[in-house]
Amino acid sequence: MPSIADLAMRPGEEDEDRLDRSRLMAWLNLDAISSCRCLVVGAGALGNEVVKGLVLSGFLDITLVDMDHVVMSNLNRCVLLRPEDAGNSRAKAPAVAERANRLVGRDAVHPMVTRVEEFDGWNSMDLVLGCLDNIGARLHVNARCCLAGIPYVDGGTDGMRGKVQVIVDEGPCLQCTTNRSHYAVLERRYSCTGSATTLYRPHMAAEITTTSVVAAVQVREALKLVSGMQIACIRHVMYYDGMAGTCEILEASINPGCPNHYTCSPSH
């Protein structure tokens, strides 16, 4: 039997544990969180905030995939990037990984500078978070997650508006909620052929408060999924309106014609 002295706690001892306040949330499974093999796709504005939130929450095995390089216009909403990264045209993924790892004092984030279409480690992942502004890439990630049966938390922003969708077996996937305007963008993007032909895609408005809100919701949903609290996750699609200061859950349904629905369904 331990003695009273063994059970005694020194004043302030709990403050020596960086995750002490998280442990006070009884439903959080910190062991599962620390061992979760997590993939983050995109190291831009959302990716910065998502990676920051994940490592501070206790995720220690994060693969970060991005093919892009840092430019000055990234710096007003990317907390882990620096002016010297833009000056050196540094790849985003290793820059974000380096600063995130400093936050927790260990190699929790493993960068990969590649197109997500070339990533082949899907079957080794337990959870995927999408931080992309490209519809084609988002649909690719969605399809691969459905095929592998991996929970997928998709986030997107447009100025003061944003959305989060949690894609799990029994619910609609991202492609189920894709409308004709999304396909029109895809048609423009892929209608040109030849290496000398490119499509100019105008930049979308972006600002840090919307990015922070959407990324925080993505990480929160990841914590629920990994801790076995899927029942508490967002159902359908959450829309955030920063101008109105509102969040709404808009109902989405499975599209019987969705090519991923058959794969995602646990009955098949």
71-100 pLDDT, tens per residue?
Answer: 999 999 999 999 999 999 999 999 999 999
In this model, does residue 2 exceed pLDDT 50? yes
How is residue 182 written in tokens?
């999304």
Q: How far apart are CA 173 and CA 175, in angstroms?
A: 5
Lowest mean pLDDT among 3-7, 20-24, 249-253, 260-264: 3-7
pLDDT in tens, 203-232: 778 899 999 999 999 999 999 999 999 999
- What does pTM read for this prediction? 0.87
Helix, strand, coil tally for the chain in percent (to 5): 40, 15, 40
- Of residues 139, 142, 91, the one with CA closest to residue 264: 142
Q: How far apart are CA 222 and CA 231, in angstroms?
A: 12
Domain coordinates in residue numbering, the chain? 28-264
How is residue 167 written in tokens?
């894609």
Fold type of domain 28-264: Rossmann fold (3.40.50)
Residue 105, φ and ψ in degrees, nearest 5? 70, 30
User: Residue 202 has what pLDDT?
Assistant: 65
